[in-house]
Amino acid sequence: MGFWQDYGARIKNMFLTIDWSYLFEFIVFAVVFYVVFKILKENKAQVIIWLFSVIVILFGMAFSMSKDIESQTLVLIVVTATVFVLLLFNTEIKRMLLGTGTKHNRNENLTVHNIEYTIDEIIRAVQYMSKNDIGALIVLSNDNLPEGIVSSGTVINAEINAPMIEAVFYPKAPLHDGAMIIEGDKIHAAGCFLPLIENDGLPQEIGSRHRAALGVTKVAAVTAIVVSEETGIISIVKNGEIKKRYAGDAELKNILSDYYWTDLTAEGE
């Protein structure tokens, strides 16, 4: 019985001597680290992930040699806040880097001015086709489409402008029935055939272009813009879902900005 009493006393003494403030700080840090790491991973920020991990390791070593809890907590808050600021102003930072000539993508000709011009031209063409009930399917690719999709159409590598987009989808044009593949500042290909999604539960008004957009966004991490030939309604499709129907200028601007400032400039791509 003396053994168990002695053992119980040791366990009790261990809990009494635990510095609960350190334990609480460790738990908070672990939760914050997990949340930040998850956000960084979802934003494809591999470079920042490595930087964040190195900072955590270095400060972890510093913490082990310091007993000043207040200074440790302050440093943790500063590091976390820095990472969130980098994420919050991710687009602005990339704009600044591009504006000073530093490239983070494969499209050497992309500059702040060119990107804004390209976005405006795509929106202008989509709105024109919507008002005139001209069907269209545009896929925003980051060189991540299966080769069979691109080769099913015609590679044209043309500069992006509204008249060119409208000409491709003109009802009597030879390539109007297929999809247009945009990569950066180029119309890479047109007249491409996309895999159709097989889903009998889709509404009847969802036509072949929408099914193709749903299909391609399921097999590749791309975004598709669809203009209905029957109604002129503009839809935005991503991740195998119609994210927005009746998309207007604001929604198109947002999705194109995401493409040019996030997808094309994602670290490690």
- Residue 251 falls inside a structural domain: yes
Tell me: do 129 and 238 sit in the same domain. Answer: yes
Taking the alpha carbons at both ends of the chain, their separation in whole angstroms is 65
**Tokens 């470079």 identify what position?**
47
Tell me: do 30 and 160 sit in the same domain. Answer: no
Q: How many domains does the chain have?
A: 2
Tell me: do 73 and 126 sit in the same domain. Answer: no
Here the CATH number for the domain that contains residue 186 is: 3.40.1700.10
- Residue 102 falls inside a structural domain: no
Last residue of a domain, which of 55, 88, 121? 88
Query: How many whole angstroms separate alpha carbon 157 and alpha carbon 191?
Result: 13
The range of the structural domain enclosing residue 61 comes to 2-88
Residue among 47, 80, 76 nearest 60 (CA): 76
Tell me the pLDDT tens digit for each residue of 131-183: 999 999 999 998 888 888 999 999 999 999 999 999 999 999 999 999 999 99
Tell me: do 146 and 256 sit in the same domain. Answer: yes
| pLDDT over 50 (residue 29) | yes
Tell me: do 62 and 123 sit in the same domain. Answer: no
pLDDT of residue 74: 55
Tell me: do 57 and 133 sit in the same domain. Answer: no
Tell me: do 84 and 129 sit in the same domain. Answer: no
Tell me the pLDDT tens digit for each residue of 94-115: 545 444 443 444 455 667 778 8
- Residue 244 falls inside a structural domain: yes
Whether 87 and 258 have beta carbons less than 8 Å apart is answered as no
Tell me the pLDDT tens digit for each residue of 75-94: 666 666 666 656 555 555 55
- Residue 14 falls inside a structural domain: yes
Tell me: do 123 and 214 sit in the same domain. Answer: yes
Tell me: do 118 and 32 sit in the same domain. Answer: no
Tell me the pLDDT tens digit for each residue of 209-264: 999 999 999 888 899 999 999 999 999 999 889 999 899 999 999 999 989 887 77
Of 130 and 37, the structure prediction assigns the larger pLDDT to 130
- Residue 66 falls inside a structural domain: yes
The pair phi, psi for residue 202, each rounded to 5°, is -70, 145
pLDDT of residue 49: 67
- Residue 203 falls inside a structural domain: yes
- Residue 256 falls inside a structural domain: yes
Give the predicted TM-score (pTM) of the model: 0.62
Of 88 and 57, the structure prediction assigns the larger pLDDT to 57
Tell me: do 250 and 160 sit in the same domain. Answer: yes
The pair phi, psi for residue 8, each rounded to 5°, is -60, -40
Tell me: do 82 and 143 sit in the same domain. Answer: no
- Residue 93 falls inside a structural domain: no
Q: Which residues of 55-91 are buried (b: 16+ CB within 10 A; e: fewer)?
A: ebeebeeebeeeeeeeebeebbeebbeebeebbeebe
Residue among 255, 127, 250 nearest 182 (CA): 255
Tell me: do 207 and 149 sit in the same domain. Answer: yes
